[in-house]
Structures are given as structure tokens and as C-alpha cells.
């Protein structure tokens, strides 16, 4: 005796974004804190030492914020013009910044006045950085040069004039004090060695380079320029590895998540994309209110800080584990694990006699009614308010099952006005849903068949029927429009694709010939 097979509820593919580990990770941030700055925020840099303050360069100031404060803990204002690229030294004590007035200033983080001023550039300095030995500064300027400066003497050590356009980004090696890379609007990336007078490697990005990033291993270099993000293998002499084009406006900033597994790129198109660094596929994406100029991640991804053109600084802090746990706890209060395994894991002793109990089959209410052939009642159950509104697929599945059993007409017939209005309401809500249309359209036809004679007797039902008719007319128009669009697309595709010729146009003819040829010496299958 086989058991009753419950009604199959069709599982429809979930629409929208798939929930992956990445979405969970990147969604686990609090609502952003927004701080208004004085101008477009061009640079954000996190201090490498413990409290992990961050320096925000905007207009003529550099604000240093603490990890959780919303007020700057420190403000550096000694700039004559727009400041650029405030960078911390690796010990977090010094900060360097370029300026529109071509002077590079070095600050003590605790002081206010500049410790050193490096003069020599003739135009605005957009790039500043410390070398890994902490005694030198790299700068890049709109006068096409990049220079190395000695901090103690405040003297220029070397100047490189290889770029043919503005130098707008640069990065120093963390492992080697002599290596640094600069990117310029002349579309090139150049790797310099301070011990040599010339660049040792040149890579062509193809677009004005906006941002550079070195992997922690320093074998790979990421450059952003135009809409492209490119990855270069430095150990293979600057061979291009991957080129990604996921933004639809210029990519302005790059940064790496703390474990080095994810790469983030921010763009003027207001999006931040998260890439997997193994296959360089976009795994997540979040957007901001305005074009993003700068982006930084706190160590351990504790916070995401983005600076935008509308001079808003957005800080998103990571949710603490308790908080996220609390949220999920509120969502569902499920019985503990103990309840489920109660008595189930008891191992029988050697002499115990095992009495096997048949497992009781749990059936939904509509299934119980279907099992006993109570078709009308099962339809009632499936049309209960909660099911109808929250799980229309159950209602549709029961209607489908009744149709399969050939008893849908019986279940629909003999209803009162209220019930019919409820069913029509459900139909109006779901009839044009492509997932349900195939099931509900015959059911609607059946309703019209059954209740044709009483049309016009109830104003309530009549109103619903008119609405249904209106809905169907609209849907038909809509489908027609869609078909027209499809036809247009087809012609476009057909004209854009090169016509594919069958490589052996003469084959069919050859076959015909072969047949004639074979006709003379056609071997006959003979029974032996």
C-alpha cells in the first residue's frame, strides 16, 4: 500500500540577486555615517598603526578622523590651495600631502604646522607617498615629472621626466625601498628603480591612468583608467593579465580587502564593484549617492569610507557579531536543536527489542482533503487568505492538481457571491503572472463557463469580471507590443550577424550524384 503522494508545489526560480557569501559579507555593515566636507574628497588614507585614524583630503584641508568619531580629531589647514593626496607614513607619525601650489608639505600628525616644505615642482602635485625605508618621499606632479625627496635634508634626490602628461597616481613598493610605480595621463605606467636614472618597465594602459594598486606580494599591479581596470604581472615583465570593464564611467579608485581576496573599484558612475581576485569576476556591487572619487577600507574591513564629488564622506562601519546575531534572532525564534533530536539519538542496548513505529506522514490540510477527495474543501483551504496572499504558488498548485484530476469544475461550481469575488480577486492579482498564467487561464475560462448564467445578478461579481476583462485587454496589448519589439530585435540581429554559409554547398548535390552512381553498382543486402 503506497502512501499518498502530496501535491507537488512548483518551485519557481528566485528572481533578483543571488545570496552568496559575498553579499552576506558586504551587506553586514551598518547604515552609513555621512559627513559634509568643504569640497570634493580626493583622497582617503588609513593610518597603518593601531587606532587606525584616517586622513581625508578635501579642498584645502586634511581632516583626520578617529575610527568611530564623527568629528575630526585633527585638522591640517596650512594649505594655500587645494590639497591632494594626504598619506600616512608606515609608522603613522608623519603625513605628507601635495598641493595645487606645487609645494609638498610634510606634517607631524600631532602638530599643526608643516615640518618640511619641498619646493621644486612647477605645477600642482597630485601624488605623494613615502618609500618603504621611511626617509624618502615620492611625488608626482602635473609638470610631467616625478621626484624623490630626502626627508631629513628636504632636498630633491632625483627627478624623472619620462611621462609626457600629468602624473596622477603612484605607488611605492612596501618591500623594496627603491622601487616605485607611477601612472600618468599619457596612458602609461612606469616602474622606476631609484638606483637607476631611467624607468625599468613601461606598461601601456590605453587610457589615462587614475589609480594604481600593488598586491601585498607585489607581484601583481592593478591599474585603473578610463572604464578599465587592468591587472599586470610585474614578475613577467609587465605582462597584462586581466582587463575588466565593469563600470560605465571612469574608474577613480582601487583598494584591496584586508585578506587580499577581494578587489574593490570605485567609479564616477557611483558604483563600487567587488571582484574576486582569483577569477576577477564581480561578486558584489554597492552604490552611492554621487560619483566616488576616493575609497578606502579600514584594516580588517572594519569600515568602508568613500569620498564623493558632492563633498560627502560616507563611512560604513561593520556590524559587530552580537548585532548581526541579534537581528537574525529576532527574525525567527526556532526551537532548539535539543527539541528536534529528543530521543532520536538513543542507541538501543544489546538485548533491547526494537519496536519500529511507522513514520507518520505529515500532510498539509489541502492534501488531507485531496486524499479524501474533498475537492471543494481543498480549494477553500488553498484560497485561505494567508496562503492566497503570501504563497500564491500553493493556491496555483492546488488548482492545477484539481485540473489534473478533472474535478476543477466540480470544485468551482456552486459557490456564493463572496467566495466567487475572492477567487476573482485572486485571478486578477495573478492571472498575468507568467509563472501562473498557464494554470490560471483555463481555470478562469472554467469559471466563466460555470457562472455564465448568473452574470449580471451580483454587482460585486460583475465589477470583478469587468476588471478581469480590462486586465486581459491590457495584457494582450502589452504582449503584442512585446512581440513587435522581438521582431525588431530579430531583424537587427539578423542584419548584424555575418551570414553563415554552409561550408559544403555542393554536398546535397553530391549526394544526389552519389546516389545515381551507386544505383548502378548498388550493393544489395541479401539474406544468407
Partner 1 sequence: MVEHGDIRVVHRGGSKINSREPVVTNDSRFLLCASGERVKVFSTSTEECVHDLRGHTDLVTGVLLRPTNHLQVYSCSVDGTVRLWDFTDGILIKTYDIGYPVYAIYASANHEGVFFIVTPTQSDNRSELFQLVAVHLPQSGDQLVEAQELSAVLSNVSSNPAATGFGRGGEYIASAKGLHLEVYFFKKQKSYRFSLKEDNKKGGKNTLMCIACHPKDDCIATGHEDGKIRLWRNFNHKKEYTYTTLHWHHNAVSSLRFTPEGTNLLSGGLESVLVQWRYNQESERDFLPRLGSAITHIAVSPDGTLFCTSHSDNKITIIQSCVKVSAVIQGLVNGESVRTDLMVDPRSKSLVLNGKPGHLQFYSLQRDKLLYNLDIVQQEYIHELGLQQFEVVKVAFDAPGNWMATVEERKPKAAEPEINLKLWAFDEQTQSFVLNTTVSAPHEAQITSMCFSQAADGQTSMLVSASEDGHFKAWQLPRSACTEDEGPSWSCDFVGDYRGLAPQCCCFSADGSLLAVSFQEVVTVWSPASWELLTTLSQPPKAIRDLCFGRLGCSKYLMGTTASNLLCCWNLLTCSLEWSTSMDVSLLLSDPLTENMAAFCCQAESTDLFVFKPSEPRPVASLKAVCSGKVTRAVFAPREEMLESCEESSQWLNRSQLYFLTQHMDLMTFTTKAEEDRLAASSKQLFIDDSVAMTPFYLLLGKHRKQENQDSLTRLSAELMPLPRGSLAIKELLQSPAHVLPSTSVLCSMFVESLLVSVADGSEESKHAEEEMESEKEEEDSEGEMESRTPRPEPASPGLQSAESAAPALTKAQLKELRRVKKLDHGWLADLLLS
DSSP bridge partners of 230: 223, 243
Q: How far is CA 474 from the centre of its chain?
A: 35
Does position 361 interact with partner 1 (CB under 8 A)? The reply is no
User: Cβ closer to partner 1: 9 or 154?
Assistant: 9
**Interacting residues of 387 by C-beta distance below 8 A, sequence separation 6+:** 381, 394, 395
**Least distance in angstroms from the C-beta of 334 to partner 1:** 18
**DSSP-derived secondary structure for 120-167:** --SS-EEEEEE-TTSSEEEEEETTS-EEEEETTTTEEEEEE---SS-E
**Least distance in angstroms from the C-beta of 432 to partner 1:** 17
The single residue among 335, 414, 434, 523 that binds partner 1, judged by CB under 8 A, is 523
317 in Cβ contact with 33 (< 8 Å): yes
**Which residues in the 451-510 window bind partner 1 by CB under 8 A?**
500, 502-504, 507-508, 510
**Least distance in angstroms from the C-beta of 11 to partner 1:** 8
Q: Using CB under 8 A as the criterion, what x/- string covers residues 34-63 for binding partner 1?
A: ------------------------------
Shortest CA distance to 307 belongs to which of 26, 28, 31, 34? 34
**Which window, 6-14, 59-67, 145-153, 448-456, contacts partner 1 (CB under 8 A)?**
6-14
282 in Cβ contact with 275 (< 8 Å): yes
* DSSP run (H or E) holding 513: helix 507-520
The single residue among 332, 333, 338, 522 that binds partner 1, judged by CB under 8 A, is 522
Report residue 286: phi and psi, to 5°.
-135, 155
**DSSP-derived secondary structure for 74-116:** EEE---SS-EEEEEE-TTSSEEEEEETTS-EEEEESS-SSEEE
Alpha-carbon dihedral angle through residues 42, 47, 52, 57, given to the nearest 10 degrees = -20
**Least distance in angstroms from the C-beta of 133 to partner 1:** 44
Helix 392-405 to helix 417-430 angle, to the nearest 10 degrees? Answer: 110
User: Cβ closer to partner 1: 343 or 516?
Assistant: 516
229 in Cβ contact with 250 (< 8 Å): no
Does position 8 interact with partner 1 (CB under 8 A)? The reply is yes
**Least distance in angstroms from the C-beta of 188 to partner 1:** 36
Shortest CA distance to 300 belongs to which of 25, 91, 62, 109? 25
Does position 528 interact with partner 1 (CB under 8 A)? The reply is yes
The single residue among 15, 16, 17, 18 that binds partner 1, judged by CB under 8 A, is 18
**Least distance in angstroms from the C-beta of 326 to partner 1:** 23
154 in Cβ contact with 116 (< 8 Å): yes
**Which window, 88-96, 165-173, 303-311, 516-524, contacts partner 1 (CB under 8 A)?**
516-524
Does position 520 interact with partner 1 (CB under 8 A)? The reply is no
The single residue among 5, 195, 333, 390 that binds partner 1, judged by CB under 8 A, is 5
The single residue among 21, 328, 356, 496 that binds partner 1, judged by CB under 8 A, is 21
Question: C-alpha distances in angstroms, 471 versus 94, 425, 455, 475?
Answer: 69, 12, 18, 6
**Which window, 160-168, 264-272, 317-325, 403-411, contacts partner 1 (CB under 8 A)?**
403-411
**Which window, 76-84, 285-293, 309-317, 399-407, contacts partner 1 (CB under 8 A)?**
399-407
SS3 521: coil
Query: What gap in Å lies between CA 185 and CA 165, rounded to an integer?
Result: 5
**Least distance in angstroms from the C-beta of 222 to partner 1:** 24
**Which window, 14-22, 128-136, 261-269, 300-308, contacts partner 1 (CB under 8 A)?**
14-22
Q: Give the length of the chain.
A: 528
**How many chain residues interact with partner 1 (CB under 8 A)?**
40
Does position 10 interact with partner 1 (CB under 8 A)? The reply is yes
Does position 112 interact with partner 1 (CB under 8 A)? The reply is no
The single residue among 203, 264, 370, 396 that binds partner 1, judged by CB under 8 A, is 370
**Least distance in angstroms from the C-beta of 40 to partner 1:** 40
**Least distance in angstroms from the C-beta of 261 to partner 1:** 16
Can you give the C-alpha Rg of the chain in angstroms?
A: 35
The single residue among 330, 331, 520, 526 that binds partner 1, judged by CB under 8 A, is 526
Shortest CA distance to 224 belongs to which of 235, 233, 238, 213? 213
**Interacting residues of 371 by C-beta distance below 8 A, sequence separation 6+:** 4, 363
Question: C-alpha distances in angstroms, 67 versus 64, 316, 331?
Answer: 10, 11, 30
The single residue among 365, 403, 409, 428 that binds partner 1, judged by CB under 8 A, is 403
Does position 101 interact with partner 1 (CB under 8 A)? The reply is no
Query: Sheet of 179-184: strands edge to edge?
Result: 167-172, 179-184, 188-193, 199-204
Query: What gap in Å lies between CA 438 and CA 432, rounded to an integer?
Result: 9
User: Cβ closer to partner 1: 406 or 456?
Assistant: 406
**Least distance in angstroms from the C-beta of 105 to partner 1:** 50
**Least distance in angstroms from the C-beta of 508 to partner 1:** 5
**Least distance in angstroms from the C-beta of 440 to partner 1:** 13
Q: Using CB under 8 A as the criterion, what x/- string covers residues 430-449 for binding partner 1?
A: --------x---x-------
User: Cβ closer to partner 1: 292 or 375?
Assistant: 375
**Least distance in angstroms from the C-beta of 514 to partner 1:** 4
Shortest CA distance to 87 belongs to which of 186, 180, 188? 180
User: Cβ closer to partner 1: 5 or 338?
Assistant: 5
Q: Rule CB under 8 A: which residues touch partner 1?
A: 1-8, 10, 18, 20-21, 370-371, 401, 403-406, 438, 442, 500, 502-504, 507-508, 510-512, 514-515, 518, 522-528
Amino acid at each position: 500500500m503506497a502512501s499518498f503522494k502530496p501535491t507537488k508545489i512548483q518551485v519557481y526560480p528566485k528572481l533578483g540577486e543571488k545570496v552568496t557569501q559575498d553579499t552576506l559579507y558586504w551587506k553586514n555593515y551598518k547604515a552609513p555615517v555621512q559627513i559634509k566636507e568643504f569640497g570634493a574628497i580626493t583622497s582617503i588614507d588609513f593610518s597603518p598603526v593601531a587606532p587606525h585614524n584616517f586622513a581625508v583630503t578635501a579642498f584645502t584641508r586634511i581632516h583626520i578622523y578617529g575610527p568611530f568619531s564623527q568629528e575630526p580629531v585633527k585638522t591640517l589647514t596650512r594649505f594655500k590651495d587645494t590639497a591632494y593626496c594626504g598619506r600616512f607614513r608606515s609608522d603613522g607619525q608623519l603625513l605628507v600631502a601635495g598641493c595645487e601650489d606645487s609645494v609638498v608639505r610634510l606634517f607631524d600628525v600631532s602638530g599643526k604646522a608643516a615640518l618640511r616644505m619641498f619646493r621644486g615642482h612647477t605645477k600642482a602635485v597630485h601624488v605623494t607617498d613615502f618609500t618603504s625605508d621611511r626617509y624618502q618621499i615620492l611625488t608626482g606632479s602635473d609638470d610631467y615629472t616625478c621626484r624623490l625627496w630626502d626627508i631629513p635634508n628636504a632636498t630633491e634626490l632625483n627627478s624623472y621626466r619620462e611621462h609626457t602628461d600629468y602624473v596622477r597616481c603612484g605607488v611605492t613598493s612596501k618591500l623594496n625601498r627603491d622601487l616605485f610605480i607611477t601612472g600618468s595621463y599619457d596612458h602609461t605606467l612606469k616602474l622606476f628603480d631609484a638606483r637607476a636614472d631611467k624607468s625599468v618597465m613601461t606598461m601601456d594602459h590605453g587610457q589615462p591612468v587614475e589609480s594604481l594598486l600593488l598586491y601585498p606580494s607585489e607581484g601583481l599591479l592593478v591599474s585603473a583608467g578610463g572604464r578599465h581596470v587592468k591587472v599586470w604581472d610585474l614578475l613577467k615583465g609587465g605582462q597584462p593579465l586581466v582587463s575588466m570593464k565593469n563600470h560605465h564611467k571612469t574608474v577613480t579608485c582601487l583598494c584591496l580587502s584586508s585578506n587580499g581576496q577581494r578587489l574593490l573599484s570605485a567609479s564616477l558612475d557611483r558604483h563600487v564593484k567587488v571582484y574576486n581576485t582569483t577569477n576577477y569576476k564581480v561578486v558584489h556591487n554597492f552604490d552611492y549617492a554621487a560619483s566616488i572619487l576616493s575609497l578606502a577600507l579600514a584594516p580588517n574591513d572594519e569600515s568602508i569610507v568613500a569620498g564623493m564629488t558632492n563633498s560627502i564622506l560616507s563611512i560604513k562601519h561593520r556590524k559587530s557579531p552580537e548585532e548581526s546575531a541579534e537581528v537574525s534572532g529576532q527574525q525567527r525564534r526556532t526551537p532548539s536543536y535539543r527539541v528536534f533530536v529528543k530521543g532520536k539519538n538513543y542507541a538501543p542496548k544489546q538485548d533491547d527489542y526494537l519496536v519500529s513505529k511507522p513514520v507518520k506522514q505529515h500532510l498539509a490540510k489541502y492534501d488531507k482533503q485531496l486524499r479524501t477527495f474533498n475537492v471543494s474543501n481543498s480549494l477553500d483551504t488553498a484560497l485561505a487568505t494567508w496562503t492566497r496572499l503570501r504563497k500564491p504558488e500553493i493556491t496555483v498548485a492546488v488548482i492545477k492538481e484539481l485540473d489534473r484530476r478533472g474535478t476543477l469544475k466540480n470544485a468551482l461550481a456552486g459557490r456564493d457571491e463572496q467566495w466567487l469575488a475572492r477567487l476573482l480577486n485572486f485571478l486578477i492579482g495573478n492571472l498575468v503572472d507568467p509563472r501562473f498564467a498557464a494554470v490560471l487561464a483555463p481555470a478562469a475560462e472554467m469559471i466563466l463557463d460555470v457562472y455564465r448564467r448568473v452574470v449580471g445578478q451580483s454587482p460585486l461579481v460583475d465589477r470583478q469580471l469587468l476588471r478581469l476583462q480590462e486586465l486581459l485587454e491590457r495584457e494582450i496589448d502589452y504582449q503584442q507590443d512585446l512581440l513587435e519589439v522581438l521582431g525588431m530585435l530579430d531583424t537587427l540581429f539578423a542584419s548584424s550577424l555575418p551570414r553563415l554559409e554552409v561550408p559544403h554547398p555542393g554536398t546535397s548535390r553530391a549526394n544526389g550524384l552519389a546516389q545515381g552512381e551507386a544505383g548502378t553498382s548498388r550493393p544489395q543486402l541479401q539474406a544468407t
